[in-house]
Amino acid sequence: MNKRLITISPLKKAVMLTAFFTCHALFAQQVDLTYSTASEHWVEAKRFLKKNPSNTVDITVYTDQKLQVIDGIGGSFNELGWEALQSLKAEDQQKVMHAIFSKDGCNFSMCRMPIGTSDYALSYYSHNDVAEDFEMRDFNIDRDRYILMPYVKAAFAVRPDLQVWASPWSPPAWMKVNEHYAMRAGNFENAKDGNKLVKGGEMLNNATGFNMQERYLKAYALYFSKFVQAYKDEGVQLAAIQPQNEIAFQPNWPSCTWRPEDMAYFINDFLGPQFEADKLNTEIWLGTVNSGDPNYVKTVLEYKDTAKYIDGVGFQWGGAKAIPTIHKEFPNLKLMQTENKCGEHENDWTSVERSWNDLIHYTNNGAGSYMYWNMILDETGASAWGWPQNSMVVIDTNTKKVTYTDEFYLFKHLSHFVQPGDHLLKSSAGKNHLAYQLQDGRIMVLMYNSESTVKTVTIQIGDDIIGVEVQPTSINSVVVKS
């Protein structure tokens, strides 16, 4: 092979090297890239190409156009998650909690918990199962003191300023029309074990499952108030409650449907006034809304004075269809995605793709907070009645192996950097990126490369243009100092 030798004067060489290393050092200080693929997780890399401004720009970030403020990002506490965590030694439990809540980990800032039973509780229960105890004399959180509360407090030990909000899957069974926690009998899709609801006790037409007599409504408002106060007495100040999980769904696990007119009546005439009378500063949000019809939310907000009691609206699953309209018509209303889709225990990259699409949809339609479902589950991922679902962390209770799933890293790519008080920034159209203004002045661009090849993405941030080399089928966090 012939080689051509090019001679450069010592002075010119020194100038060129100085310019190169100065530019390279400055550029390296300004931009950090972290990526994850199905085979490599949380790799910190620096693959940058300074681009000529005349080149085509793939993503434009408008640093002068802030959109919604970020309220928080996190997941849900559930009894079965705590049960799985307890199978580990104390030091290994700490490692898992640090991975989820520490600044070096996912850095979760807001989490959800159930009020009473959920589909990932060990069994059916409420905080008052004494029938017709309208004065709530027998209300208690005794069960939570042994299961859910230690889980929440373990998170607080790592993240003391964690925000926690709560919602019931079902009122106490004696408050419901069919006097059962579920709305449907027998097996349902992947919930193989079913339940013991007798035939004829089903309610399948979205009629309100709650007993709408005034004494029940008063008692239920008091039930919520006592829950908030009981947790406060234990050192847990709840940021918000949402009065009903999946308000328009009749599964065979704990549930209760509400017509919008009835939910509006409950909030306006009972729940809101009860919180006012008890001087509670816990917010009331409408949710969790899984109806795709925006008129469900509008009916509640437009009923008498109900809107004055409602601080935000939480959507999940079918509610994705309604959030664009609500955001457009109520632009100042805080919005939340309350539960990402739970999957079928596949815990692989297909879960990442599904969750990514939902993250883009909800965020671009005003959601300022975003929740994963079960943060931790055992190796089966199964609910108490047999539906295996995904989790961020899988703990094999036999071998004690801890696995951080692909979705764990998807959420880490967002929440490790984006915290309450940060803002979404307007950016150019596209389904594979989001941009955020962090409070310390940095810009974070979250990108998904859906292509199966290495790709250079050109990003314009204000007057600066950078090129970032991203790996095939990867999630990427690009952090740029201003």
3-state helix, strand, coil in the chain (%, to 5): 30, 25, 45
Model pLDDT, residue 109: 98
- Rounded to an integer, the average pLDDT of 138-164 is 98
The C-alpha atoms of residue 431 and residue 454 are separated, in whole angstroms, by 18
Reading the block at residue 321, the tokens are: 């269809």
What is the pLDDT of the chain when averaged over all its residues? 92
Closest by alpha carbon to 42, among 114, 99, 87? 99
- Rounded to an integer, the average pLDDT of 142-166 is 98
- Rounded to an integer, the average pLDDT of 141-159 is 98
Strand partners, 260: none
Closest by alpha carbon to 241, among 201, 187, 281? 281
Instruction: Say which residue, 38 or 52, is predicted with more confidence.
Output: 38
8-state DSSP, 204? -
Integer CA distances (angstroms), 307 to 24, 168, 265, in order: 54, 21, 11
Does residue 23 surpass a pLDDT of 70? no
Q: List pLDDT tens digits, range 100-123.
A: 999 999 999 999 999 999 999 999
Does residue 27 surpass a pLDDT of 50? no
Local confidence band at 25 (pLDDT 50, 70, 90 cut-offs):
very low
Does residue 226 surpass a pLDDT of 60? yes
Instruction: Say which residue, 190 or 310, is predicted with more confidence.
Output: 310
DSSP secondary structure string, 110-133?
EEEEESS--TTSSS---S--STT-
Local confidence band at 310 (pLDDT 50, 70, 90 cut-offs):
very high
Q: List pLDDT tens digits, range 258-278.
A: 999 999 999 999 999 999 999
- Rounded to an integer, the average pLDDT of 343-372 is 97
- What single letter denotes the amino acid at residue 448? Y
Model pLDDT, residue 9: 37
Model pLDDT, residue 460: 94
Query: For the CA atoms of the chain, what is the radius of gyration?
Result: 25
Local confidence band at 8 (pLDDT 50, 70, 90 cut-offs):
very low
- Rounded to an integer, the average pLDDT of 412-437 is 98
**Residues sharing a CB contact under 8 Å with residue 338, sequence separation 6 or more, in sequence order:** 112, 167, 242, 287, 288, 314, 315, 316, 371
Model pLDDT, residue 20: 31
Model pLDDT, residue 198: 83
8-state DSSP, 422? -
Cβ-based neighbour number of residue 341 at 10 Å: 16
Integer CA distances (angstroms), 182 to 5, 189, 199, 317, in order: 81, 15, 12, 19
Reading the block at residue 13, the tokens are: 């060489």
Integer CA distances (angstroms), 326 to 66, 298, 321, 332, in order: 19, 8, 10, 10
Q: List pLDDT tens digits, range 164-187.
A: 999 999 999 999 999 999 998 877
The C-alpha atoms of residue 249 and residue 269 are separated, in whole angstroms, by 24
Lowest mean pLDDT among 28-32, 79-83, 279-283, 341-345: 28-32
Does residue 470 surpass a pLDDT of 90? yes
The pTM score is: 0.92
Local confidence band at 453 (pLDDT 50, 70, 90 cut-offs):
very high
